[in-house]
Amino acid sequence: MTDVTITPETPQRAGFVALIGEPNAGKSTLLNRMVGAKVSIVTHKVQTTRTRIRGIAMEGDAQIVFVDTPGIFRPRRRLDRSMVAAAWGGVSDADIIVLLIEAHRGMTDGVQTILTQLRDSVGDRPVALAINKIDRVKAEHLLALSKQMNEAFPFTRTFMISAEKGYGTDDLRGWLASELPVGPWLYPEDQIADLPMRMIAAEITREKLTLRLHEELPYQLTVETEAWEDRKDGSAKIDQIIYVAREGHKGIVLGHKGEAIRAVGKAAREELSEFLGRPVHLFLTVKVREKWLDEAERFREMGLDFNDG
C-alpha cells in the first residue's frame, strides 16, 4: 500500500476593498498598481474618476476586488452629488476600507470631513490608512502625520506608500489579502476588470481630453461609445461622442483646424489599440448638448445614479 498524503486545502478568500479619499489622492493610481494594469484613468486634475471602478488582483489564495471611487469633496452640481454618493456606496459594499491621504497635504479639512462620515458608516469593518505620495516628503514628517491621523480615527493599520513608485504597496496588498473573509472567488482567476469595454474605451478618450484641456472644461464634458464594430480584418471601428455643454467648448475641443481633437484621437487610439492588442479606428464627434449635466441617460452611461435636484 502506498502512502497517500492529504494536504488540507487552504481556503479561498475573496472580498471588496474600497479605496476612498479626497480627489487627487492617488486612488486610481493605486488601483492600477494593485491590479498590474491600467484599469482606471489617472490625471493630475481633481475629479477624474466619476464612478466606481473594480479592478481584481490575486494574492496567494485571496482574490481582492479593489473598488476605485470618485474623490469625496463638497458637492455643488448634480454630477458632483452623484459622484460622492457613488464613493460612499463603495464604502457601504466593502469588506475593508482604505483611506488614502496625500503625505504632503496632511490632515486637511476635507480629510476630517471624510473621517466624520466614516465613523458613522464603517461599523466594525477594518479601515486602513494609506499615506500616499511619500516620495514627495521627508520621512520625519510621516511619523507625525500618522500619529495625528491615528489620534483622530481608530485605523486598523497604517501604511506609508507611493502608489506611483510602488513603495509599500506589496505590504498593503498582503495585509488586505489576509484580512479578507473566507469565501469563494467572485471572478474568474484571470479577470482584471469588470467595466464593459465600451466604457473603458470612453474613459481612455476622456483621460486624453482631460490631460489636454484647461480649467473647467474637462468637468463639463462626457464621452460615450456610440458604436463598436469588430471587423473581419481583426481591427475594431469605434465611434464615440464627446458631449459638451456650450458651443464655445466645442470650438476648444476641436481646436484650430481640428488639431486638438486629432491629437486626442491619436493618443486615445494608440492606448486603446495597445489595451485591446489589435488595430483600432477611432472616430470622435463633438456634440453640443446644453443640458447633458441634467440628463438621466448621460448619468446612466457614466455608471452613476441620477438623483433628484
Ligand X SMILES: Nc1nc2c(ncn2[C@@H]2O[C@H](COP(=O)(O)OP(=O)(O)OP(=O)(O)O)[C@@H](O)[C@H]2O)c(=O)[nH]1
Enumerate binding residues for Mg ion (CB under 5 A).
27-28, 48-49
Which C-beta is closer to ligand X: that of 56 or that of 87?
Answer: 87
Q: Following CA atoms 289, 291, 296, 297 in sequence, which dihedral angle do they give, to the nearest 10 degrees?
A: 0
Instruction: Indicate whether 47 belongs to the interface with ligand X (CB under 6 A).
Output: yes
Binding site feature residues = 21-28, 68-72, 132-135
- Single out the residue of 184, 156, 183 nearest to residue 172, CA to CA: 156
Among residues 16, 35, 48, 253, the one that binds ligand X under rule CB under 6 A: 48
Among residues 15, 24, 110, 264, the one that binds ligand X under rule CB under 6 A: 24
Give me the amino acid identity at 227. Answer: A
Instruction: Indicate whether 42 belongs to the interface with ligand X (CB under 6 A).
Output: yes
Q: Exposed, middle or buried by CB within 10 Å (0-12, 13-18, 19+), for 244?
A: buried
Which C-beta is closer to ligand X: that of 55 or that of 238?
Answer: 55
CB of 107 within 8 A of CB of 94?
Answer: no
**Listed ranges 6-14, 110-118, 129-137, 200-208: which one lies at the site for ligand X (CB under 6 A):** 129-137
Q: Select the residue whose beta carbon is closest to ligand X and give its number.
A: 71
∠ CA(245), CA(248), CA(249), 5° rounding? 55
**Listed ranges 19-27, 88-96, 196-204, 259-267: which one lies at the site for ligand X (CB under 6 A):** 19-27
Among residues 28, 63, 222, 240, the one that binds ligand X under rule CB under 6 A: 28
Please state, in angstroms and rounded to a whole number, the distance separating the CA atoms of residues 75 and 83. Answer: 9
Among ligand X, Mg ion, none, residue 25 binds (CB under 5-8 Å by kind): ligand X
| Site size with ligand X, rule: CB under 6 A | 25
Question: What are the residues whose beta carbons fall under 8 Å from the beta carbon of 84, sequence distance 6 or more?
Answer: 70, 72, 73, 75
Question: What are the residues whose beta carbons fall under 8 Å from the beta carbon of 253, sequence distance 6 or more?
Answer: 209, 213, 217, 221, 242, 244, 260, 261, 264, 286
What are the distances in angstroms from CA 91 to CA 4, 122, 144, 214?
A: 46, 8, 27, 31
As measured in angstroms, the least distance from the Cβ of 98 to Mg ion is: 14
Site string for ligand X, 79-108 (x = CB under 6 A): ------------------------------
Site residues for ligand X per CB under 6 A: 21, 23-29, 42-44, 46-49, 70-71, 132-133, 135-136, 162-165
